[in-house]
Amino acid sequence: MNMGTSTPPLTKLAAWQALEAHYPKVRDLHLRKLFADDTKRAERMTAEAVGIYFDYSKHRITDETLRLLLQLAEESGLRARIDAMFRGEKINVTEKRAVLHVALRAPNGQSMMVDGEDVVPQVHAVLDKMAGFSNRVRSGEWKGHTGKRICNVINIGIGGSDLGPVMAYEALRYYSQRDLTFRFVSNIDGTDFAEATRDLDAEETLFIISSKTFATLETMTNAHTARDWILKSLKHPAAVARHFVAVSTNAAAVAMFGIDTANMFEFWDWVGGRYSMDAAIGLSTMIAIGSEHFLAMLDGFHQMDEHFRTAPFERNLPVLMGLLGLWYNNFFGAQTIAVLPYEQYLKRFPAYLQQLTMESNGKHVTLAGTEVDYQTGPIYWGEPGTNGQHSFYQLIHQGTKLIPCDFIGFLQPLNPLGRHHDLLFSNMFAQAEALAFGKTSQEVQAEGTPAWLAPHRTFEGNRPSSTILLERLTPEALGKLIALYEHSVFTQGAIWSIDSFDQWGVELGKALAVRIIPELEPAAEHQLTHDSSTNALIRRYGRAKEPSHGR
């Protein structure tokens, strides 16, 4: 395993240095020429596995680039690191934890060990418990305190305890039980809770409090507000047991909140928050789509896990995807990657990926604690097509920044309506084509454009993209797609030799907020000891709470 000790530093690896020498030879090559010189490029530079077709031919690479990137993967110890993850080793070194989200989707009977214990039976016991509860809610057997059927399910959580459930609910809405309403409250801004509940009847509403730690300020604040909201309507403390369940690793805190631990769905410290949507954090997803569909989603994840674990790197989709991202990040100096799903149901997928990718790989030191001398995680962002085309694509096509793009599409529409799907796909294919090949000034002028206008209408092209195609958006397909990104993030983190599984960068702001809370009380005369800007902002806020304010 590359812990920054046994393997030479990344930039001293032979493959890294060869890539540095190779980069100037590729930098100015145009995709127009690469395709013109090699009619078989698209055939060679595609890979297909577990039902995902990955076209990476529109990338600014040659066969030699690919060879060197694959060599980099080998030299950096990626193989050993993959094996260490699947063996349940504590590869999250700063938190001394195993990283075993792959065990969450391991089939019954397979074993995966953490500290000498097989965790797969525990995983399936929780899945069974989730299935039992989901069935009761879906069938109407689980009643609220006054005997009314539960019609509304509200997940309260944030970060990994929210983004996965929201994304999966939106992505799999087609399969959801339509007489149930699902809402997701994450923000500590009271508006989030107020708007989520304003038209709901407390008697028919179930809250799922999702928090790995059961200590997160936002989630606990919203959970207490939810309890007040329930008690205000239902007027009896016993109502809490019928209207609240919890998903957590912290049984003591769940019990303290007043939730019966019989209604707690457990997960474990070897599941990172941003990797937890297929643990019990997915309870809202299971209630929405049913346990069979949920298990099909896990099977999709597992198929990609097995592919990642066993496929040779040159045919390994997450490895190829991770290496291509690294090529632009570390050699071209690209700062961002745009994720562009041509699928409305994936509208929250870019937001979900932001936590997965940036909380994982936004790190500045290696596993050994030394400052990196290369770039780590890029910024991920995006919107579903075709909406983005009428907003930010202009900059991708003609701006001064290099933004590699991931186009994602499903061949079979879930809602076939007239020619919509053909038009959607023609747009996706056209965008990737336009980005890669552009339009020369000669072509523009040949169309009769006056010379003064030609520069504005010229497209330089040579903008790289991947196209990722799947057959149909099913729960299984979604699992495969998410696992593709998870393992591509792993690939990059392993090569950069960083801890992709901790998130210390979120701590300072949390601690400072806790310190500032009492300082916002209007009456108190606070001795503020922040910088002059923060002091002035706090004072201004305090004045706004005074009764005389605004009169």
What are the residues binding ligand F6P (CB under 6 A)?
A: 158-161, 211-213, 216, 219, 273-274, 359, 503, 506
For residue 86 the two structure tokens come to 């699947």
Rg over alpha carbons for the chain, rounded to the nearest Å, is 25
**Which residue has the CB atom at the shortest distance from ligand F6P?**
273
Nearest residue to 265 (alpha-carbon basis) of 287, 285, 243, 250: 250
Q: DSSP code of 207?
A: E
Q: How far apart are CA 210 and CA 288, in angstroms?
A: 16
Residue number, 280 or 319, with CB nearest to ligand F6P = 280
Nearest residue to 316 (alpha-carbon basis) of 306, 324, 308: 308
- What's CA 242's distance to the chain center, in Å? 32
Q: 359 an active-site residue?
A: yes
- Shortest distance (Å) from residue 160 CB to ligand F6P: 3
Across 410-429, b (16+ Cβ under 10 Å) vs e yields: beeeeeeeeeebeebbebbe
Q: How far apart are CA 326 and CA 329, in angstroms?
A: 5
Among 33, 224, 236, 510, the active-site one is 510
Residue number, 103 or 247, with CB nearest to ligand F6P = 247
Secondary structure percentages of the chain, helix, strand, coil, to 5: 55, 15, 35
Q: 243 an active-site residue?
A: no
Q: Kind and range of the H or E element at 208?
A: strand 205-210
- Shortest distance (Å) from residue 247 CB to ligand F6P: 9
Q: How far apart are CA 96 and CA 534, in angstroms?
A: 35
Residue number, 423 or 514, with CB nearest to ligand F6P = 514
- Shortest distance (Å) from residue 405 CB to ligand F6P: 27
Residue number, 91 or 202, with CB nearest to ligand F6P = 91
Residue number, 248 or 366, with CB nearest to ligand F6P = 248
Starting from the edge strand earliest in sequence, which strands make up the sheet with 244-248, in order?
A: 181-185, 152-156, 205-210, 244-248, 264-266
Residue number, 135 or 263, with CB nearest to ligand F6P = 263
* Farthest-apart Cα atoms in the chain, separation: 78
Residue number, 165 or 273, with CB nearest to ligand F6P = 273
Residue number, 316 or 500, with CB nearest to ligand F6P = 500
Q: Among positive and negative, which fits the CA dihedral 311, 316, 322, 327? A: positive
Q: Kind and range of the H or E element at 256?
A: helix 251-257
Residue number, 72 or 279, with CB nearest to ligand F6P = 279
- Shortest distance (Å) from residue 161 CB to ligand F6P: 4
- Shortest distance (Å) from residue 250 CB to ligand F6P: 8
Q: How far apart are CA 444 and CA 62, in angstroms?
A: 29
- Shortest distance (Å) from residue 207 CB to ligand F6P: 14
- Shortest distance (Å) from residue 506 CB to ligand F6P: 4
Nearest residue to 99 (alpha-carbon basis) of 380, 283, 367: 367
- Shortest distance (Å) from residue 210 CB to ligand F6P: 7
Q: 525 an active-site residue?
A: no
The string of DSSP letters for 283-335 reads HHHHHHH-HHHHHHHHHHHHHHHHHHHHS-GGG-HHHHHHHHHHHIIIII---
Among 359, 383, 486, 519, the active-site one is 359
Q: Kind and range of the H or E element at 471?
A: strand 465-472
Among 390, 456, 507, 525, the active-site one is 390
Starting from the edge strand earliest in sequence, which strands make up the sheet with 46-49, in order?
A: 46-49, 52-55, 465-472, 405-412, 336-342, 379-381
Instruction: Label the pairing between strands 465-472 and 405-412.
Output: parallel
Active site residues: 359, 390, 510
